[in-house]
Amino acid sequence: MQEHKQLIAAEYSAGSDAHQLRQNAKPKRTLSVAPMLDWTDRHYRYMARLISKNTWLYTEMINANAIIHGNSDRLLAYHPQEQPVALQLGGSEPAILAQAAKIAAGYDYDEINLNCGCPSPRVQQGAFGACLMREVELVARCLNAMQEAVNIPVTIKHRIGLDKETAYQPLADFVGTLREKTPCRIFVVHARNAWLDGLSPKDNRDIPPLRYDYVYRLKQEFPDLEIILNGGVTDNAQIHRHLQHVDGVMVGREAYHNPMLMRSWDAEFYTSHQPAVEYEDLVNQLLDYACRQLANPDISLRHMARHYLGLMHGLPGARQWRRMLSDASLLKNNDASLIAEAWQAVKDGAASQSELI
């Protein structure tokens, strides 16, 4: 955290022009990785940034009250290399959200995103998440209060509807009202309904049908808005198809379970001429990162390694990689060299099948 604050302070001490230059140099939101509870923590995001330099990364949803009353360093600190990185907030009280956003701005996030899509019962009890789609005027007050508190973009992530509502117009009315009453111009739209009764959060990610056409229609009806589609995206061919209709695509579980899907994104979607990261280089960088992190007694190898399990997806030796990096008896030693040993097992598997990696 201290390193992070020193880098921010150095940027500001160089003058506002330097800070504004970094803001202007941010890549477009063509691709992003969805905020996922217990998954997109800072260790995952650091790994993702090593794979793609341009993809936008999002934190897990963090309750605004937790930021105000809890340990903000523990909740908000991240490595500056993760940028561009957006903070997703949960809450429904404009003043509380504004205060949390202002605290977060001190950590130099590139965006603050309001969660209006989570259907979990715990979130509903707090009167935020997807149930906010029933209270568009309150959402408008929340977005306005947050934007007044910070000078970075305040955005929203929401569903296409609630429960078994099938009409398009309520969605258009929700977006249109926010367009009229707030400065928010970036809408991340999960192309499924949120069923608030009868489905678990896990089932809410699979059972409500995907309606990509509704998200496409939003872009047609509100061409001045930046519409980012989320939900059910699993490969680059799908991304290309969606980008014919919307401004950006947010990928969730596939980017977590198969993170090397992101390996081609900079070249394929951002016209980068930099070569894709090599597996060997990636592993060495993760090994260096793990060694540095383990100097903190509050961090264990398990905290990092759990995010690496899908890195070798599809390669010979991938099963051995996963087995070693999820073995509690091996992880308990907190020895980062386990990563190198697991990588050697992958290389041995590839050599036995005469494959290049």
Sign of the alpha-carbon torsion through 170, 176, 182, 188: positive
Cβ-contact 226, 248 below 8 angstroms: yes
Encoded tokens for 56: 């936008």
Considering only CA atoms, which of 20, 30, 4 is closest in space to residue 267?
30
Q: Which residues of 290-311 are buried (b: 16+ CB within 10 A; e: fewer)?
A: beebbeeeeeebebbbbbbbbb
Q: Is 118 a catalytic residue?
A: yes
Distances in Å between the Cα of 80 and the Cα atoms of 4, 6, 91, 188 are 6, 10, 26, 24
Residue 275, preceding bond cis, omega within 30 degrees? Answer: no
DSSP-derived secondary structure letter, 109? -
DSSP H or E stretch at residue 249 = strand 248-251
- Residues near 121 by Cβ (< 8 Å), separated by ≥ 6? none
Which residue is catalytic, options 116, 118, 142, 184? 118
SS3 of residue 83 by DSSP: coil
Pairing of strands 56-63, 226-230: unpaired
C-alpha to C-alpha distance for 185 and 327, rounded to whole angstroms: 45
Q: How far is CA 336 from the centre of its chain?
A: 26
The residues assigned a catalytic role are 118
